[in-house]
Amino acid sequence: MDIDKILQGLDDWQSAFDAGVSEQTASGIAYRGLSDADMLRCQEALDEAIRKPYRMEVLRRAIEADNAEQ
């Protein structure tokens, strides 16, 4: 199945794919998810009225934790 979607805040599909994470659904289907940094960029690119501030804060904390581990 091809899914065609443009996400505000992302430069291009290949960069997002390369930075993404490999995951599996509960039933074992593999998929590629966006990185926390790309998810945050998408939220920041949205109109302020539809942003999800709590999600943005959780993503910032996850990014900070990942950076602290490196």
Give me the residue spans of the domains in the chain. 13-69
Lowest mean pLDDT among 13-17, 35-39, 45-49: 13-17
For the chain, what percent of residues have pLDDT higher than 90?
Answer: 79
Q: Above 80 in pLDDT, residue 47?
A: yes
Q: Which of 33, 38, 35 is nearest to 23 (CA)?
A: 33
pLDDT at 70: 83
Task: Tell me the average pLDDT of the chain.
Answer: 91
Element (H, E) at 29: none
Which residue's entry shows tokens 């996400």? 7
pTM given for the model: 0.81
Which residues, in sequence order, are bridge partners of residue 66?
Answer: none
